[in-house]
Amino acid sequence: MKRPDWRRVGATSQEVALTVGAVLGTVCLLFLVAGLVFHIKPLIVRSGSMEPTIATGALALSHTVPASDLAVGQIVSVKTLNGTRVTHRIVEIQPDGSRAMLTLKGDANGSVDQQVYDVGQAERVVFDVPYAGYVVAWTSGRTGVFLGGLLAGGLVLLALRSPSRRPGAGSGSGKSNALGAGVALVLVGTVLHGTTPAQDTGAYFNDDAGYTGVTAASYTVPAPPNTNCSVPLGGSSSSREVDLTWPANPSPLLSYDTTVSTITATTAVTDVSTNKELQVIYDPSTQGFPTNTIVTVTTRAHPVNVASWLSPPTTWKFMTAKNSSFPPTCQELVAPTLVVTAPTAVTELVATKRNTTQTLCGNKYIVCGTAIDDSSVSEVSFILQKGSQCWNGTTSSYGTDCATWQPTTNSSPWTNTNGSNNLVDNAYPGTGTYTLTVRATDGWGNVGTLVQTFTLI
């Protein structure tokens, strides 16, 4: 029986190993070139809201494209504010110059993402390989890199071994070993350094329990509306309460930061049915407690665990009572209602306008009217403008100061102050178009405004 030629078997095994190494090295090199030249990025899908299109554990290959090349129905991968990748399908695009606002939705999700993504470019998924992400994730770990390094190092040693000294071994074998050594080195470099590493991406389910975040430019944290203030029944001379209520935000979950001016108070936000209720509790019996004083409560919302991402502020006001035996009063939110009696908003001759104004307001006045409010009117003022210039309140000179409000008597009915017999001639010196702006402020700081335009010919 002929004995096996172990030297030939060993040489054949060496050639097979080097060929396998060459193939793997070439594949790694192709991936490297594709990543650098064509901006191909591998993504490991870690969760399942894109199932069944993309399964958990798949390896998705994506290509970076500008926002103008994106279309509804494509699957894209974008980054959130905290650096997490989300891979979902585009359901709506709102172009904005070279950028776009993307509304995304996971195929397995019942609703679209709560956030809208503002992008100039995005990674568009080209195709995916099921379960390949598990393999890439393992080989990218410490154990995988270690074993891959051992394999690549073994191929290098095999390629660099001296050529066989068997008869007939010539330069061809040396060239094959040299080629194998070169390709094996490519494999070593690629395995050990991971020139185009795969990135993790989440295909997140819409879940109120977590918050992924988006860029600040694309999502504004909603401020609680200032619509409902109430004083609960009961209370005592040592404990008074004001409750501020608004609809809860469904997603993302929000926390609230609150400050209270003027007085010392404790605050707490609780869930009441589908609403949020901010309770402000204070003790009016403490020495030196300010009575008949307006208190301002300011609240800003932010996503849970992202305290720096704040909503615009919302303010409420309430007034403490005259003493601790009485409850506080919630802010009145309605601005004063204004009526201008004169000048009337009709086109008239200069002389006629002067005469009708004096008849309606009195000989010394150029503007008059009424201001009505549920609480009290604290101030009424006006600006009389002709073209780009405004009346200075005394003479017939109109100047460029259109920021100074002229005073009135503030009562209702109100008139301008500084009345004189010739004032109407100064206020309406000649033909042209005039604009009268009147502003009224109540005791809570609510402001009502009325603009009236008329022409003198």
**What digits encode the pLDDT tens for the residues 275-319?**
999 999 999 999 899 999 999 999 999 887 677 788 889 999 999
Please check the confidence at residue 167 and state whether its pLDDT lies above 50.
no
Pick the last residue of a domain from 330, 359, 390. Answer: 330
Question: What is the tens place of the pLDDT at every residue in 197-248?
Answer: 555 554 443 333 333 333 433 467 888 888 789 999 888 999 999 999 999 8
Between residues 419 and 117, the one the model is more confident about: 117
Q: Is there a single domain that holds both residue 352 and residue 400?
A: yes
Cα separation, 426 vs 421, whole angstroms: 10
Question: What is residue 202's DSSP assignment?
Answer: B
DSSP state of 67: G
Looking at residue 395, the DSSP 8-state letter turns out to be S
What mean pLDDT value characterizes the chain?
78
373 and 422 fall within a common domain: yes
Q: Kindly report the number of other CB atoms within 10 A of residue 295's CB atom.
A: 20
Range of the domain at 180: 1-219
**Shared-domain flag, residues 273 and 349:** no
Do residue 281 and residue 200 come from a single domain? no
Residues 247 and 307 in one domain: yes
Reply yes or no on whether the pLDDT at 136 is more than 60: yes
pLDDT-based confidence at residue 347 (cuts at 50, 70, 90): very high
C-alpha span between 457 and 449 (Å, rounded): 27
- Which range in 59-63, 147-151, 230-234 is most confidently predicted, on average pLDDT? 230-234
Q: What is the pLDDT of residues 403-412, one digit of tens each?
A: 999 999 887 8
Q: Are residues 134 and 254 in the same domain?
A: no
Domain C-terminal end among 330, 354, 369: 330
pLDDT at residue 173 greater than cutoff 60: no
Domain total for the chain?
3
Residues 258 and 391 in one domain: no
Of the given ranges (173-187, 246-260, 422-436), which has the lowest mean pLDDT? 173-187
Q: What is the pLDDT of residue 94?
A: 86
Q: Which residues contact 192 (CB under 8 A, 6 or more apart)?
A: 145, 148, 149, 152
- In a shared domain, residues 17 and 158: yes
Mark whether 352 and 415 lie in a shared domain: yes
Look up residue 53 and give its amino acid. T
46 in Cβ contact with 53 (< 8 Å): no
Same domain as 298, residue 152: no
Out of 330, 347, 364, a domain closes at 330
Q: Does residue 176 have a pLDDT over 60?
A: no
244-269: average pLDDT: 90
**Overall average pLDDT of the 2-29 stretch:** 62
Residue 412's alpha-carbon distances to 109, 223, 298, 335, 364, in angstroms, are: 60, 36, 32, 15, 17
Other C-beta atoms lying within 10 Å of the C-beta of residue 112? 16
Judge if 371 and 268 occupy the same domain. Answer: no
**More reliable by pLDDT, 173 or 395:** 395
Domain with residue 297: its CATH number is 2.60.40
Domain match, 272 and 320 both: yes
Q: Which are the contacts of 19, defined by CB distance < 8 A and separation ≥ 6?
A: 180
